[in-house]
Structure 1
Amino acid sequence: MSLLTNVMDHSLDDGYAEAAARKTAEGSGGLPKTLRAKLGLAAGLVLAALVVTVGAAQARVAAPVVAKERQELIDRIDKETASADTLESTVDKLRDDVNARQRAALRTSGGGEGTELVDLLSGAVAVHGPGVRLVVNDAKEATSGGGDNPRETSDFSDIGRVRDHDMQRVVNGLWAAGAEAVSINGQRLTALSAIRAAGNAILVDNKPLVPPYTVLAVGDGKRLSTTFQNGADGLYLHALEEDYGIRATISVVGDLRLPAAPSVIVRTAQPRSEKGTS
């Protein structure tokens, strides 16, 4: 208590108090005493006030100019955004027209009774029917593995994340189990579809996907589910669940609807030339 009382009674250090008293006694403290010093102080105050006034006046004059430039920039951004939206709409229309022409060419080239089968296998038409829904997701708490872990790479050090080659095995396993059509997150897969990685994202035909990854496969649902889970790729997925916490659920669905592939590349085969052969 005595320490607190002393601090409250002597809030100013004795040394500071002594210095202040000495300056007062010498006449060097407080306001200027001489006329010259007073005039200098007054001139400094006037100069400071002048600088503040000029700055405020310049800011007031420049404010409308800045506001005008800002509005012009906003108008330019809005104009360029509208132009980009128009171009994007045009691209979408042209892409739809190209896709429609490709599908028409594919149907024409198929010919005969096999046209519908060609359309189905190529992904040129939307399909629906029974099948399975397989949802694959990252682990709840993904952790980084050691350098000896085979799942660790420079791009994907997180072993609890689903990778592109994991989805490749899942899709290939469904095809091998008898799937007639497959899609991932609404993206229809064809024989020419590519599943790859770009940084930490999984791309399907150059379009990034966001987990969870919902895989729909049309086919005999029960047989498709059993065959896939008992196959090598189904067991691989089960190992990912057990070892890395990756989540996966599979269910049989009575009616699935898969869209047509966004773009179907039409390729035709030509008979091999017999020239130069013996």
Structure 2
Amino acid sequence: MSLLTNVMDHSLDDGYAEAAARKKADGDDGLPKTLRAKLGLAVGLVLAALVVTVGAAQARVSAPVVAKEREELIDRIDAETDAADALEDQVDELRADVDARRQEALRDSGGDSSHLVGLLAGSVPVHGPGVRLVVNDAKDAGTGADGDPRGASGFSDTGRVRDRDMQRVINGLWESGAEAISINGQRLTALSAIRAAGDAILVDNKPLVPPYTVLAVGDGPALSDRFQNSADGLYLHALQENYGIRTALSTAEDLRLPAAPRVIVRTAQPITGKGTS
């Protein structure tokens, strides 16, 4: 009976009692480690929420300033665009005035072919029947690493239209009887140059973007037949068959071509007098 009484009176071992007393003396709260971890996580979440709240408040305060700066930038862009458009209109008006004065001066001096000279030189806008030729890269042309068909470097034989391809097309149209030609709205003259700069095709130092729309004024049906049967027309057909370059040729009753931006002659000089030396 004394053994049972001892067990009932001392349910915990003396060692456990000593350990509990020691922890209490050391200031240990006796919480399980998992509970302390949860409390630490809760404190961290509270701090994170506080940081996010402060950041949102600061963003809300600075948002009107950013919006105002954005509106001011948009207003400046619009103003500069309007100014550029106004200057372009002024240039067009001055160019038209110069052309009118030149034609008047030629008429006063006995020149009766000023309009034809301006037409052949590309200095005046023209309209008339002709052909419309659209040349475009192949659908799977030279895809770059980012999936951009224009992303591949260089003009390799991968279905991309090259500068020398456009040179042959334009020369073939001139040879077939075209009287005036433009590419993507840019008038070609005897001084125009078609070349490459990196991955772009340039016409008079202005980059072109595919598809390339070529307008050629002339006798539409005859011009179309002569071009398709010419060496350059067959060359374009071979590009379509071998590399998948897309082309579309059609005739039109009335094509309108703008004047060349500028026709500057730096070297050639007119011959004065009837004789030559």
Q: What TM-score do you get using the length of structure 2 for normalisation?
A: 0.68
Over the aligned positions, Cα root-mean-square deviation in angstroms equals 3.7
Letter of the structure 2 residue corresponding to residue 74 of structure 1 = R
The equivalent residue for 1:92 is 88
Quick one: distance in 2 between partners of 1:184 and 1:220?
18
For residue 173 of structure 1, report the CA deviation from its aligned partner: 1.1
Correspondence 1:104 to 2:100: yes
How many Å apart are 1:98 and its aligned residue?
Answer: 4.0
Structure number with greater Rg is: 2
Alignment partner of 1:38: what SS? coil
Instruction: Kindly report structure 1 stretches of 4+ aligned residues shifted beyond 6 Å.
Output: 43-47
The corresponding residue for 1:222 is: 221
Task: Find the counterpart in structure 1 of residue 208 from structure 2.
Answer: 209
**Residue 78 of structure 1 aligns with which residue?**
74
Aligned to 1:269: 269
2:28 partner SS: helix
1:154-233 paired onto structure 2 within 5 Å = 155-233=154-232
- 5+ unaligned residues in a row in structure 1: which ranges? 1-25, 28-32, 145-152, 273-277
Matches of 1:110 and 1:75 in 2, distance apart? 52
Change (3 A) 1:127 1:59: closer
Q: 1:37 to 1:49 in 2, by over 3 A?
A: farther
Q: Secondary structure at the match of 1:252?
A: strand
CA deviation after TM superposition for structure 1 residue 120, in Å: 0.9
Match of 2:146 in 1: none
Cα distance in 1 between the residues matched to 2:168 and 2:96: 31
- 1: distance between equivalents of 2:130 and 2:185? 15
Matches of 2:58 and 2:27, distance apart in 1: 39
- 2:41, 2:241 → 1: CA distance? 78
- 1:107-118 to 2 correspondences below 5 Å: 107-108=103-104, 110-111=106-107, 112-118=111-117
Structure 2 vs 1, CA of residues 179 and 45 (structure 1 numbering), >3 Å: closer, same or farther? Answer: closer
Moved more, 48-57 or 83-92: 48-57
How many residue pairs get aligned? The number is: 235
Gaps of 5+ in 2: 1-15, 18-22, 144-151
2:27 alignment partner AA:
R
Counting only pairs closer than 5 Å after superposition, residues 3-42 of structure 1 correspond to structure 2 as 34=24, 36-38=27-29
Provide the residue aligned with 1:20 in structure 2. Answer: none
Structure 1's 250 and 56: CA in aligned 2 closer, same or farther, altered over 3 A? closer
CA displacement at 1:65 relative to structure 2:
3.6
Looking at structure 1, the residues matched to 255 and 121 of structure 2 have their Cα atoms a distance apart, in angstroms, of: 18
| Alignment correspondent of 1:241 | 240
TM-score (norm. length: structure 1): 0.68
Q: Alpha-carbon deviation of 1:104?
A: 3.2
Of all paired residues, the percent bearing the same amino acid is 53
SS of 1:253 mapped into structure 2: strand
2:210 is paired with a residue whose SS is coil
